[in-house]
Amino acid sequence: MRTLNTNLNSFIMHSVLIIYTLICMFPVYLLINNAFKSRRAIFKQPLSLPNEDTFSLAGFLKMFTRIDFSIYFYNSIVITVITLFFVLLFGAMAAWALSEYKFKGNTMLGLYLALGIMIPIKLGTVSILQLMNTLGLVNTLTGLIIIYIAQSLPLAIWILTEFMKQLSKELKEAARCDGVNEYQLFFYIVLPLLRPPMATVGVFTMVPVWNDLWWPLILAPSNGKQTVILGMQQYIGQYVTNWNAIFASLSLALIPVLIFYLIFSKQLIRSITAGAVK
């Protein structure tokens, strides 16, 4: 009776989970699947996989003749990588100071820096645009990078501070006894230990930056400075009628994130559920 019950339970659970997983994957499947099909097949058999008759790269070819997606990819990669580098470096430095040293105003400063986790930076758009104008950073990748660093720092500092509080005291004291100064201690001993939380911070920084539409739309909308998402959005805005090209450009914008996510998903999920795993 008990095993029957357990089996029934697990059957119900699996059914619900499978149905929900299918609901989650269905649009993604439709998108990528149809990017590789001919126009006729997109409309005639949208659900079936491409075969010899229906396979087509027309959308991708069409897209590449119209716009230079490689520039957008270059921009997005530059922005994401540079942002990530500075967020990790500055974030780790600040987190180190907050978690390691006792000084007046430590808690207040921590709270001040944590404010940004809750407050969306978008609300400062009016002044940010004005500031970027004054600094001559409109339509530059630098402007975008600075905003993304500012936006990503609060969460990065918070995650890294939590982690650094767990670093062993003995290690730090031993290093200090060996005459290592505070900078060396941080850069040569602490920083290399931060790899696991840095992967988490990396995902939480890179994904929103890569996917963002708002700031490219406002700060760098003109030719040659678009990110993948903005470039794709403008492209689709112009050529709404060509379904092949739409599917192709959407897939192209989506696939890098999918690959990135599938590589790091274990790490990411483990760190979200961290504490539980311990």
Partner 1 sequence: MKKKFPFHIIVFLFPACFIYSIFMIYPLIDTMRVSLYTQNLLGENMDDSSGVRTFIGLRNYYDLFFNDTWSWHFWNALKNNFYFFILHVSIQTPIGLLIAAFLSNKELKLKSTYRTLIFLPAMMSIVIVGYIFNLILSNLWGIPQTILGIFGLEDLYQPWLGLREYALITVSLISIWQFVGIPMMLFYAALLNIPEEILDAAKVDGSTGLSTFWKIKFPLILPTIGLMCVLTYVGNFNAFDLIYAIKNIYAGPEFSTDLMGTFFYRTFFGYQHQLGNPTMGATVASTTFLIILIGVLIYLFAFQKRITRYQY
Contacting partner 1 within 120-149 (CB under 8 A): 120-131, 133-134, 146-147, 149
Show contacts with partner 1 in window 1-60 (CB under 8 A). Answer: 6, 9-10, 13-14, 16-17, 20-21, 23-25, 27-28, 30-31, 42-43, 46-47
- Stretch of 56-64, 67-75, 171-179, 253-261 contacting partner 1, by CB under 8 A: 253-261
b/e for 126-163, b at 16 or more Cβ within 10 A?
eebeeebeeeebbeebebbbbbbbebbbbbbbbbbbeb
Q: Which is nearer to partner 1, 52 or 139 (CB)?
A: 139
Interaxial angle between packed helices 243-272 and 228-238, expressed in degrees from 0 to 180 and rounded to the nearest 10:
150
The verdict on 119 binding partner 1 (CB under 8 A) reads yes
For 238, other C-beta atoms within 10 Å of its C-beta total 12
The answer to whether the beta carbons of residues 66 and 239 sit under 8 Å apart is: yes
The answer to whether the beta carbons of residues 84 and 205 sit under 8 Å apart is: yes
The answer to whether the beta carbons of residues 270 and 257 sit under 8 Å apart is: no
Q: Which is nearer to partner 1, 147 or 220 (CB)?
A: 147
Residue with tokens 């907050």, as numbered in its chain: 98
- 3-class DSSP state for residue 37? strand
Among 57, 77, 82, 150, binds partner 1 (CB under 8 A): 150
Among 108, 115, 169, 195, binds partner 1 (CB under 8 A): 115
Residues sharing a CB contact under 8 Å with residue 49, sequence separation 6 or more, in sequence order: 33
Q: Which is nearer to partner 1, 154 or 197 (CB)?
A: 154
Among 41, 67, 84, 153, binds partner 1 (CB under 8 A): 153
- Least Cβ distance, residue 70 to partner 1 (angstroms): 19
- Stretch of 57-65, 114-122, 170-178, 194-202 contacting partner 1, by CB under 8 A: 114-122
- Least Cβ distance, residue 168 to partner 1 (angstroms): 16
Pair of tokens at residue 20: 């929900």
Show contacts with partner 1 in window 255-274 (CB under 8 A). Answer: 257-258, 261-262, 265-266, 269, 272-274
- Least Cβ distance, residue 23 to partner 1 (angstroms): 7
Q: Which is nearer to partner 1, 129 or 193 (CB)?
A: 129
C-alpha–C-alpha distance, residues 63 and 69, integer Å? 8
Q: Could you tell me which residues are beta bridge partners of residue 278?
A: none
The footprint of partner 1 on this chain (CB under 8 A) covers a number of residues equal to 92
Instruction: Give all strands (DSSP E) within 79-205, no chain letters.
Output: none
Among 60, 69, 72, 96, binds partner 1 (CB under 8 A): 96
- Least Cβ distance, residue 61 to partner 1 (angstroms): 20
Q: Could you tell me which residues are beta bridge partners of residue 55?
A: 37
